[in-house]
Structure 1
Amino acid sequence: MILTRRSALVVGAGGLLAGCDAVGNSAIGRRVLRAGEDAHFALQRGLTDRTALAREFRPDQMSPVFRSNGTRNPDTVGYNAHAARDFADWRIRVDGLVARPLALSITDLRAMPARTQITRHDCVEGWSAIGQWTGPRLQPILGFAGLLPAARYIVFHCADRLGGRPYYESIDLVDAFHPQTILAWMLNGQPIGVPHGAPVRLRVERQLGYKHAKYVERIEAVASLDAVFGGKGGYWEDVADYEWYAGI
């Protein structure tokens, strides 16, 4: 077996999340895991070019089925009403620490210059799939909104709820500005369906699957993650101590 750096990181992260419950449930264990995350973050950022691309694949290498996971339908009154109208009234707010707050429709997103990339989605549950994603890059959108100097993180607020909690995720500006970080509205040449995050989801290709927020309805620029929901940067980070930096 040839173990690549990417697959080693995926296996390591999956093992950490799946096999360390006893450690993670103690205060000392959580400090140890967070120290490991900090080391992982520093090591990857120190060894990897910040603009290095995740591997892209040929069309014939795409998975015959790209499975969905997590929330497969937010199934709220508001979301179902949007879906019934084919998301014609959906707006993605871009706000927080920006000079020019935006409210982008799906028509707006589809009119923007788009990037198409065939990449592998690696899930901490132990599966992977290769799919083709299309959508505008996040960096120009943030540029048009005018990030203020205090902005350090980008938070993605989503329409789905898990256990009564709103789903959200966040990345720093390095990943936000990465050329493969896009707001995808197409999967495999078709508009994204509800199970995969319609009408738009984040693709941040150098991160594990739970960072790829679905059903995005708001993009917020913030100086710190401390006051955002549980303060750890994402739903699973808050409720299950997943790593905030899930780089692969």
Structure 2
Amino acid sequence: MKPDLSRRRMLLGLMAGASAPFLAGCDRMTQNAEFGAVLRNTEKLTMGAQRLLLGAHALAPEYSVADLSPVFRANGTQEPDSDEYARLREHGFTDWRLQVDGLVQQPLSLTLADLKRLPSRTQITRHDCVEGWSAIGQWQGVALGRILDLARLKPGARYVVFHCADELEATLDGSGRYYESIDLLDAYHPQTILAYAMNGKDLPVAHGAPLRLRVERQLGYKHAKYLMRIEVVSAFDKLWGGRGGYWEDRGYEWYAGI
């Protein structure tokens, strides 16, 4: 059964608008306390209903190679605008490391080669963007749950925060840098992977090289690109805007299930 996105697109469409005026419109709505309360209540109902009806391990639809979209739009940042990222890309990401820390017993620092040596999963899934478009792509990577098991979670761990290389706004406190978070239920879902390949090739820069999150039961803005660090936390209310993600801090729902 294909995901029904009509209600969620209608709600988030109020914030997303077309494209250019989005940020201003989003800011105006998030300043409205009544609208914010409605949005958060809707989010809780959506998450509860989806998990009750579908179960913790229900899979997102998967497709065949014949279904791959001829064009898969690269949304958001096309390439992080930083000297560090430019240097990493210039050297083929051989110097890149994925840091895993926070509430873990064994902090990790993994190279791209380290990740590729681990058992991988390949899946062909549909990416549904909050702006209203969809595309089908093939992703290969390592299960996020496997990485968390290697790090050995400490008691109190509840959420996984993804810190990214792309900075959408220049801010002194770092709140302009892209980040996302999911809970452990989604983190251990079999289709939640750290993808390093797309359509049979190394992940393109525009799609998040060298590594991006794929959390297939949620909308596209949850699929964080340009991963640099994974932090395991008990709560995210002290992180920047306190809503658990760059766009969530600006009015989007934290749980973007489809």
Which TM-score band (shorter chain)? over 0.9
The aligned residue for residue 45 of structure 2 is 39
Q: Aligned to 1:235, what secondary structure does the other structure show?
A: coil
1:191 and 2:186 aligned: no
Q: Please state whether the residue corresponding to 1:185 is helix, strand or coil.
A: strand
- 2:14 counterpart residue number: 19
TM-score, with length taken from structure 2: 0.91
Q: Shift of the alpha carbon at 1:24?
A: 4.6
1:93–1:118: structure 2 CA closer, same or farther, 3 Å change rule? same
Matched, 1:244 2:239: no
**Residue 153, structure 1, aligned to residue 191, structure 2:** no
1:167 aligns with 2:162: no
Deviation at residue 11 of structure 1 after TM alignment: 2.3
Distance 1:29 1:72, change over 3 A: same
Match of 2:211 among 176, 179, 200: 200
Pairing of 1:1-248 with structure 2 (within 5 A): 6=3, 8=4, 10-19=5-14, 24-164=30-170, 165-239=176-250, 241-248=251-258
TM-score when normalising by structure 1:
0.95
Please give the alpha-carbon distance, in whole angstroms, between the structure 2 residues aligned to 1:159 and 1:109.
18
Q: What percent identity do the matched residue pairs reach?
A: 55
Whole-angstrom distance in 1 between the partners of 2:182 and 2:153:
14
Q: Which runs of 5+ in 2 are unaligned?
A: 16-24, 171-175
User: How many residue pairs end up in the alignment?
Assistant: 242
Per the alignment, in what secondary structure is the counterpart of residue 130 of structure 2?
coil
Letter in 2 for 1:129: A
Aligned 8 A contact 1:91 1:103 in 2: yes
- In structure 2, the CA distance between the partners of 1:104 and 1:121, relative to structure 1 (3 Å rule), is same
Given that 1:24 and 1:33 are in contact with CA atoms closer than 8 Å, whether structure 2 keeps it comes out as no
CA contact (8 A) 1:153 1:222 kept: yes
> Could you tell me which amino acid in structure 2 is paired with residue 149 of structure 1?
P
